[in-house]
Every structure is written in structure tokens, then in C-alpha cells.
Chain A
Amino acid sequence: MSTYKEIATRESCFRPGSTLCPGCMEAMAFQNLGRVTDNGKKTIFTIGTSCAEVSTLFFPNVVAWGRGEEPPDEYTKSFSILHNVFESAASCAEAVRDVADILTDHGALKQPVQVVANSGDGGAIAIGLRALLHTINRRANITVVVLVNEVFANTGFQYSPAATPLTDTSTTPAVGPGPGNPYMPIDYVHLCIAAGADLVAQVSPAHGRLFQKTVEDALECKGTAVIFVPAPCISGWKFEDGRTMELALLGARAGVFPTFVWKRGQGGKVTDCQREAEKRPKLEEFMGPQRRYAHLLERDKATGEVRPRAGREPQIQQFKDWVQANVDRLYALAELKN
């Protein structure tokens, strides 16, 4: 296992030139992924259509991928990326893995290859859930990274099946008697465990060392590893610039997306999120800075305190109930060994 400092000095495969929003969690995730994968093995990424894809590969912008100013002379530092349609990242990564394995099996390829699939939650959990689960079920030896910003950010912040309840999205507007998203998010962590993944995690670069260690563990898996990266979205969640990491930490600690790492045969662990609600940060601290919850909460101009809007107490309670169930669910999943 590499040290945090050693990884920090490596060369990332994510380069300047992307048009991701300043402070986007996806960029931070890619910087980290890029450094962890600079480990002496050829790296191949696949990426489904997503915010991350259109912001890093799309004409007329530069291609924001690659290690170094120029392609490296050393093959093991080289980097390739394939973009295909929304739902395809896992299937494509599986194909790359298979071809590399077949070539290796024949003795036609001597160098090790590591393959990482990248999707947004729209690509992996909505359009591509079938592809994701079947790739896992086939035990493909790949690492799947799903950047979960809970919306279809690419097309203008519409509802995705990962959206937390009651949020204001472009297609679940905060108007009328039942404002915001009426659905519960799909239990993607449990689904991936059930499908047969060897490692399933929910962790963001806000937990820096754990994030890097989890990626390293994932790359060493013999089967499929899936890492869901909670990705606070400045434009979609509607918060002020500079608060990405703070919200990623708060969201994890408050129980909205607890940090969780599970390994087949070993079980899992919830980190930095207490099971009891009273021991966790108040949800209002997490929700308050985000205007996607502005229909539920308001800030007292005199005291600065965030409080439920008049008449919205039932929805706030509904949200809190969901968060508690979410935390309980992950603690229960942690007990699973297989």
C-alpha cells in the first residue's frame, strides 16, 4: 500500500483544460484517480457520456486526459481513454479487460493493464443500471467509479434515481403541495453487493486517504470493484463556490451519503458517521447552504440559524427519517460477509 505522500507526488492522468465547474468534486476525484493509477501499470479508462465526459473530451475543448505534457516514453505510464454512450462504461471496460486478458493468456501482451470505468449516476444507475449489474455479475476484473451528483448535470440538473428525497431538480420542481423529488433513491450500494461485486464503497476525496486506499484496493481486486463517489455539484445543488469539500464531509457525517467500504468475505465498515442521529451533525447544516433545499428551509436573518419553513416540518421530518434509514441500512450492510 502506498503512502498518502507518495501518491501525492505521482503524475495524474487528469490534465488542465477541462470545462468542469471550478471546484467540481469530479475533477478532484479524477486527480486522485489519476495519481493512484500512476503505479507502473498501463492505465485505460472508459467513460460514459456524462458531465465529466462532455467537459473533458468534447470538441472544441482540449482533451483533458493523459500523463504529462506529452505522451510518456515509458509505456507503463501511458494512458488511454475511450468514450462511448451513457450506459456503456462498464460494458466497455469489461471488453478492454477481456481483450487484455486474452492477449496475455496467449503470451501476446506482456505488460499489465488496469481498467477503470467512469460514469455519472445517470449513466450507471439510471440508463446503465442493467449494464453495470451484469458486468458485476460476470465478475469482470475492473474498477467502476460512479460519480454521484444526484442529477443529470450534463443536461441541466434533472432528477436522477440517485437524487435524495425532496430535492429541487429541473424535473422535480419545488412547487405545489408536494414539492421536490417524490422518490426514494435506488439502493445502488446494496444492488452492487447483491450482483456480486468484490468491493463496494461510497467515499469521496473529502476523505482523502481513505479514498486513495479504497481505489488502490479496488485496483487489486480480482473481480469487480465499484466506488460510488458522492459529488457535491455546485451548479446542481446550488451552493456557493468553495464549499464542495465541506459539503462532501457534512453529507457523509450527517448520514446523507455515509462513507462506507465493503469487501466480499470481510464485510464492511461505515466510517465517520455515527449511527445515532443525535451524534451526527444536524442535517440542517448540510441542507442549509444548498438552494435545492431552499423550499424546505430558510435562514433566520437575525441569528443566521437554518430552520424549517413554516408548514414544511413534515417534509423535513420525512427527510430525516430517510437519512436514518439510510444510515441503518449501511450499518446493516456492513454486517454482510458475502
Chain B
Amino acid sequence: MSTSEVTAHPRTTTPSGDKYEGVIDLEPVKRAHQPLYTERADVTADGNAAAALAVLQMWRCVVYAGFPITPSTKWIEMISAHVAAQAGCKKRVKLMEAEHAVADYLAASAASCRDLVFPTATSSVGLDHMYETVKSLGASGLGNVMIINVYRASANYPLCIEGDPSDTLGQRDSGFIQISCRGKQQIYDTVLQIPCVGMHHDVLTPTMPGFYGIKDSHRNARLVCEPDAAIHAFQDRWIKPCPLPGLINGDTAMGNCVTSRFFQGFKVGQKRRFEKVLDVLPQVGADFERTFGRPGISYFETAGWPETGNVDLAVVGMGPDFGTFEEIREGYAKTHGIKVAGLCIRLLSPFPREAVREKLRRARVVLVVNQAHHQGRGHLTLDVADALINLPSPPAVVSTFCGMGGADVSESTWEAMLDNGRRALAGDMPPPYQIFHEGAAL
């Protein structure tokens, strides 16, 4: 980089154009933020409210674009109510005419000022409608875009508004960092942390935190909200001024047809930044835990995993239905005299292949539970199988589908799936995949 200092705004040359220093001074924006909480508070909230509170508490969020789409609608309703109720609030709500326009709006606002965070919440067909620009954003280097996805099946038959993650799993290759949450506290905490990953200078990749529609979006629970000042201090530790120019403080050309001289180099750079998520995310999570005393973002959560890692039946799943498995795990293991443990995947993209392999390497059978339609054995199954492929004696992989269309996964369904895994332990491998509902293989 070279710097010219002949004007009031020294010009710095970067690989993405020139940047004029001091054109934007965000200190007044930070000062103007009106805190929601000045001390830690216990509230009752559903998932949409938890996600809304988190972005309302971030000083870097100054405009909230949105469009109603079940089951994420309450997010923008709550934001609107809070912004309207704050006298003198300079933040804005931007109600667009369609989700596609929301995505376009996010792209340009994030490009305008790369040091602010531009969030929205959407779901299902809303995310589908955004897809064109979401794909563009994935490669844009704009880590300050955050699309909170409230999982619901993509448009298909039969219509359903429940939490089926086929919408988010259909976006696995969009280039967004996708992290799944369960429970209101995890939703709130994740929304606070994930911009720190996306806007990290080594990453610069947009983010898509998500949680299950209805199951988490519409059900209340206790939520601990941190004081705004503590959140700001945490985020400010991680979010440093972007070294690259934005539209306002730069002389630059941006967009999905604007590439460097080395097109392949650009794509390689995108891939490398994406892989860096695997380094940065655990660091942010660990700092969050040190700061607030709750678990930070991670690749996955574990249930019943022994120190030795020796497990007879390892279950891999995601989302709130994993809680039902956690409830029955110990009893099932005792009844059948086997060691049963589980991984609840959080980081969907990039998939933490190495960490998953390390965790599962001493399992005898891995039962993968998929909850979204897939052309083959299941999104998670393929990722898990890929993670295990180079092990000298990889565990057998049993693939199941359940809870599709957002149906609850009952205890009897979990038991039926576990029975399948147990049969595989005895050498009786089931078909490549099976679908379960209410305790029966369909």
C-alpha cells in the first residue's frame, strides 16, 4: 500500500481501490447509540425477539432492512417498535417491497460503509427470493452483511411454516458463513458474536446465523441480555476498521462482475478467507465465554462424549430436536448397554471437517440425522461421510431423515433411529437412508 497525504483525507492505495482516510468518523454514530440495557437483564423472549434485541444493542447497526415472511416477521416488527419508541433515535427501519430488494439493499449499504453491520431476518421463500444477490454477496468480501435465517422449508409441497432447515441447507454454497442455533440464549449470543467473525480481516465474508422456525422463533424462554456497553467493548475488540475502501470513503469499483486481473486468484482468495473462519470462530467464541460466562460460538456442541472418545454409537444432528435426544440418551445407553454420545452441529458452512473427523474417529457407528429434503443421503450425511473418508478404519455411517416439514421429532422417533444405529453395531447395516416419523420407519 502507498499513501498520498496532499489533502485533508490522505489517500491509501489498496488492492481493491483507493481509500480516503477520515472521510467517515464513526465515533458520533457510537455516541448516538441509545442503550437498551445498562446492566445485565433477565427477560422473556422468543427466538425472533432474541435476534432483534441483539442487533438493536449493536451500535454498528444503524439501518434495519426487512420484509415480512413467516416465521421471521416478528424480528422486523420488534425492531420497528423499538426504533420508533426511542426519542431522538437516528437509526432507521427500511421496509422494502420484496426480499430481493432487501438483499440488494444490504449489498449496497454494506458496500457503502464497510465498518457498519447491516442485518436483516428472513425465512424460506424470502431467502429463496434473495438467492441471486445472496450468491453475489457470498463472494463480495462484505463481512458486514448479516442475514438471520429463520429456518422453514423452501417453497414446496405441502406448504409448511415449521422449522425445516431446507432453506438454509439449500444455501450451503452461497458463500455465507452459516451457523445454526438452538434456544433463545444461543440465538442472542450468536447474533452478537458472528459479525466479529465475518468482519475479521482474514475472513471478510457475510454471515447467516439461523434458527428453527416456530420451534425456536415463536416459543418463549428466559433470556439473559447483556448491557450494551459490554457488548460494544466485546465487538470493538474484534471488529477493526476495514482496510479496504467502501463506496463512500473510497475510489473503487465493486460488484460481481468487477474482478481483479486474476479471476482465479479472486476465487482462490474467497475460498481461503472462508477457510479462515475455522481459525477465527473458536477464538471469538472463547473470548465471548471469558467475557460473559456463557458458551461462545463453536463448531458443534457435544452430548455425553467421554474423555477417551470411545463411543459405540455417535449421533450427529442439529437444531432444537437434538435436545430430545439429549433427554433420552443416557437412559437408552443404559438400557442397551452401549456408549451413546452426540454432536449437535452448529457451523454448517464452512463445515468443520477436521474437527468432526477427530471427534468421530473412535466411534463404531455414526448415526446422522437429517431434517431437510436432500437429493441423496442427506446434507449432513455427506459432510460427515466426507470428514471420515481418510480414516484407516472409519466408522459405519447410518443416515436417517426425520422431522421434515418441521415436524417435531418425538422420543419414539429418536428411539427408532437409535435402534437402527444399534443394528448397524451388530453388523446389520440398514439401507443407504431411511425416513422416520412417530417411531416408525416409513
Give me the interface of A with B, judged by CB distance under 8 Å.
42, 44, 46-47, 49, 53-54, 57-60, 63, 65-66, 71-75, 78-85, 87-88, 91-96, 98-100, 102-103, 105-109, 111, 113, 130-131, 134
A131 in complex: contacting residue of B24, B101, B107, B254, CB < 8 Å: B101
Is B291 part of the contact surface with A, judged by Cβ < 8 Å? no
Q: Chain B residues near A103 (CB, 8 Å)?
A: 24, 29, 113, 248
A75 in complex: contacting residue of B23, B65, B92, B100, CB < 8 Å: B23
Q: Chain B residues near A91 (CB, 8 Å)?
A: 96, 101, 104-105, 108
Q: Chain A residues near B26 (CB, 8 Å)?
A: 108
Q: How many A-B residue pairs have CB under 8 A?
A: 173
CB-based contact B107/A102 at 8 Å: no
Count B-side interface residues using an 8 Å CB cutoff. 60
Q: What are 14 A-B contacts defined by CB distance under 8 Å? A: A44-B112, A63-B258, A66-B251, A71-B251, A75-B8, A82-B255, A87-B100, A91-B108, A92-B104, A99-B62, A99-B109, A99-B112, A102-B90, A103-B113
Q: A83-B256, A83-B257, A130-B98 given as contacts; is B248 within 8 A of A99 (CB)?
A: yes
- With A71-B11, A82-B255 already in contact, 7 other A-B pairs whose C-beta atoms are closer than 8 Å: A44-B247, A80-B245, A80-B247, A83-B258, A99-B112, A102-B91, A105-B90
A106 in complex: contacting residue of B7, B90, B96, CB < 8 Å: B90
Q: Chain B residues near A71 (CB, 8 Å)?
A: 11, 13, 17-18, 251
Per-residue CB contact flags for chain B residues 230-271 toward chain A (1 = under 8 Å, else 0) read 000000000000000111101111111111110100000000
CB of A87, distance to nearest CB on chain B (Å): 7
A94 in complex: contacting residue of B6, B105, B136, CB < 8 Å: B105
Name A's interface SS: mixed
Is B40 part of the contact surface with A, judged by Cβ < 8 Å? no
Q: A99-B63, A131-B104 given as contacts; is B109 within 8 A of A59 (CB)?
A: no
Give me the interface of B with A, judged by CB distance under 8 Å.
4, 6-9, 11, 13, 17-18, 20, 23-29, 32, 62-63, 65, 90-92, 94, 96-98, 100-101, 104-109, 111-113, 116, 132-133, 136, 245-248, 250-261, 263
6 pairs of A and B residues whose beta carbons are closest in the complex: A83-B255, A92-B108, A95-B108, A71-B251, A88-B104, A99-B112
CB of A227, distance to nearest CB on chain B (Å): 20
Q: Which residue of A lies closest to B8 (CB)?
A: A75
Q: Which residue of A lies closest to B262 (CB)?
A: A59
Q: Chain A residues near B8 (CB, 8 Å)?
A: 75
CB-based contact A108/B251 at 8 Å: no
CB-based contact B23/A109 at 8 Å: yes
Q: Chain A residues near B247 (CB, 8 Å)?
A: 44, 80, 82, 96
Q: Chain B residues near A105 (CB, 8 Å)?
A: 90
| Residue among B11, B136, B258, B259 with the highest chain A CB neighbour number at 10 A | B258
CB-based contact A99/B96 at 8 Å: no
A95 in complex: contacting residue of B9, B112, B250, B251, CB < 8 Å: B112
Q: Chain B residues near A74 (CB, 8 Å)?
A: 7
A91 to B103, CA, bound (A): 9
CB-based contact B108/A78 at 8 Å: no
Q: Chain A residues near B107 (CB, 8 Å)?
A: 82, 84, 88, 92, 95
CB of A309, distance to nearest CB on chain B (Å): 42
A60 to B101, CA, bound (A): 29
Q: Chain A residues near B248 (CB, 8 Å)?
A: 42, 44, 80, 96, 99-100, 103, 109, 113
CB of B55, distance to nearest CB on chain A (Å): 15
CB-based contact B104/A72 at 8 Å: no
Q: Chain B residues near A106 (CB, 8 Å)?
A: 28-29, 32, 62, 90
Q: Chain A residues near B263 (CB, 8 Å)?
A: 59-60
CB of A203, distance to nearest CB on chain B (Å): 27
Q: Which residue of B lies closest to A89 (CB)?
A: B104
Q: Which residue of B lies closest to A85 (CB)?
A: B132
Q: A95-B112, A98-B63 given as contacts; is B257 within 8 A of A49 (CB)?
A: yes
CB-based contact B256/A98 at 8 Å: no
Q: Which residue of B lies closest to A64 (CB)?
A: B253
CB of A43, distance to nearest CB on chain B (Å): 10
